[in-house]
Amino acid sequence: MHQRLRVFADGGNRLTKIMEESKKPFSFPTIISEPGVELNYDVNFNLFDLDPEVSKLEKDSILVEVIKDGKSLGKKLVGKAAENKGVIIKDKNRYKNKSEDEVIYYSILVGVAYNLVKNGKTDVAVDLTVNQPLVEYVANNREYINKYANELKGNVKVSFFNLFNINEEIEKVAFNIEAITFCPEAIATYFQYAVNEDGSLNNRSSKKTIVCDIGSGQINIAAFDSLKTAGVNTFEKGMLDCYEKISMILYNNYRNQLDRKPFTYDVDNMIRFEDKKLKVKKGIDIDVSDIVHNVFDGFAYELNKDFREFVKSKFIGNCDEVIFCGGGSEILLPYLIKYLDEDFVCTKNETKEYHNVIGSMYYRIYKDNAKKSI
């Protein structure tokens, strides 16, 4: 039997996360768009002289064509390139199941391909582990799971093109997705905490633990009594609700200084990378920290009430530990601790947005070890 390469994928509303087993994970925005006719718009500057690395494949300049089982899925800009240069931008539809979303589907295939190119691999068999929201995972029957798995399985060929010369192919890779494993979000994170690298259980596996995965479009929460799952839930709200509210407030307050209403990814980038400074006309930066603070504080207060109701329904008394994870926890945790710290031992997962892909690896290690013990 030939060896399959294990790859882990978490298609999020905001970011797609990819990790090859035992290698460093990476992420890019879950956004695709049409590339237009020519991305340099026929400007006659010699871009290649100005930047000799222009045709080098980078994560922020992905232009690809994906061919799945002989059928082209189109030539698309992906991630940051779509944000910066796209003409018809499509991001994940947060009101649609992840398993039915074309943007996540395309992004996962591109992420796997990019990982293979960067690691110098092609013509490989892939064993893909995919994260799913808890409610989707629990609600989906076996027939539906098999349908989604069969859609992902198959032969994939991906060509990467020069962002400034869209007909110049700079890399290509082929792989065959032969096996699919689904691992629910939040539950994956628990395995990272409860399982050792050899697949054995550690002392954390005997505790009452809550995992709260704060994502862009959803918040997944799971309760564990030792290794037994005591209950799960998905709150259909997330950081995008905050971003949409912030965007509306900014547009109402600074309409005359903005060309358009900020997109949610504009707000996310402003908070994460621009120190909450809104860039308006004439190169002016406006500090909007107070607006951001008030929105996050209100959201954390409401989430705190939902969280307490969940814990009360699963445990008599309290739990031993609460693990907060997800890209949203990086931003929201200081606000949540304000309301929860007196009653709960709160821990932040240090793997940031990569908790699910890393946790999925530990889940597979645990499963492998369990099979050996039989």
pLDDT of residue 141: 59
Using DSSP bridges, classify how beta strands 124-132 and 154-162 pair: parallel, antiparallel or unpaired: unpaired
pLDDT tens digits for 268-319? 999 999 999 998 888 889 999 999 999 999 999 999 999 999 998 888 667 8
> DSSP alpha helices (H): ranges in 206-288?
239-253, 264-273
Whether the CA torsion 309, 314, 317, 319 is positive or negative: it is negative
Calpha distance 102→82 (Å, rounded): 15
Task: Please compute Rg for the chain using Cα positions.
Answer: 22
Using DSSP bridges, classify how beta strands 71-78 and 31-33 pair: parallel, antiparallel or unpaired: antiparallel
Domains of the chain, start order: 5-184 (3.30.420.40), 204-350 (3.30.420.40)
Residues in the chain, pLDDT under 70? 1-2, 36-55, 88, 92-95, 139-144, 316-317, 374
Calpha distance 72→194 (Å, rounded): 42
CB 260 within 8 A of CB 248: no
Q: For 148-167, b where at least 16 C-beta lie within 10 A, e where not — what string?
A: bbeebbeebbbbbbbbbbbe
Residue 242 — φ and ψ, nearest 5°? -65, -45
Calpha distance 76→87 (Å, rounded): 11
Whether the CA torsion 188, 190, 192, 196 is positive or negative: it is negative
> SS3 for 112?
helix
68's CB contacts (< 8 A; 6+ apart) are 109, 154, 155, 156
First to last CA, the chain: 21
Structure tokens at 232: 């799960």
pLDDT tens digits for 33-79? 987 655 454 444 444 444 445 557 888 899 999 999 999 999 999 99
Calpha distance 275→1 (Å, rounded): 52
Which is nearest to 32 in space by CA: 71, 72, 87, 69?
87
* DSSP string covering 288-352: -HHHHHHHHHHHHHHHHHHHHHHHHHH-SS--SEEEEESHHHHHHHHHHHHHHTTTS-EEE-TTG
- Overall size of the chain counted in residues: 374
Structure tokens at 319: 């739990």
Calpha distance 41→49 (Å, rounded): 17
326 conformational bin, left if phi > 0, alpha if psi -120 to 50, beta if neither: left
pLDDT of residue 100: 81
- Which residue is listed with tokens 């309409």? 255
pLDDT of residue 159: 97
